[in-house]
Structure 1
Amino acid sequence: MRMLRLAGALALSIFIAAPVSAQTPATKVAPAATSAPAAKPAAAALLDINSATKAELDKLPQIGPARADAIIKGRPYKGKDDLINKKIIPQNAYDAIKDKIIAKQK
């Protein structure tokens, strides 16, 4: 008789647990949108070293007022790596800003 009670209790726990696991897939949140659209705003946020103001350049990491002046005096730039080639800023400063700048041609 005891085995019958245990079997009944086991069957009841399986029955109770089954709806919870069946509901889990229905409550999942849809996956987030792809990150491709997020790439465009990042590209739009690039600062053009050929036209940026001193205040805009000064906001870049490791670029203060003196380096901003040097960047402005060294214009025009054919590419952003001209900051290194023309010895306008040191390599560590360039490494800190290279993903935030662009050198557009007129």
Structure 2
Amino acid sequence: MSQCSVCGHERNDSDIKCPECGHFYSKIAEIIAEQEAQEEMQTFRGRCKRIFNAEDSKLALLTELKLMREGLTKKGLFALFVIFVFVFALVASVL
């Protein structure tokens, strides 16, 4: 048996949360932090942070675009192509 790092309550190794103070034990906290970091990597906000924090923003942007393109299916790529062509045709017809 070990103790809770916050309140010192005796705990079993199978416990994931302290019954006294409600503090999650480090193994669970590490797993939660790792999952949050992985989710942050996949979000638009996380991608933007990586681009803005990079030394070479242009290279970081190109890398992120490549990763996003690799994640798309052929249908997705075709849909994006059609959208861009449609928008270009609209802009060209107005000018």
* TM-score bucket of the superposed structures, by smaller chain: under 0.3
Structure number with the higher helix fraction is 2
- Compare CA radii of gyration and give the structure with the larger one: 1
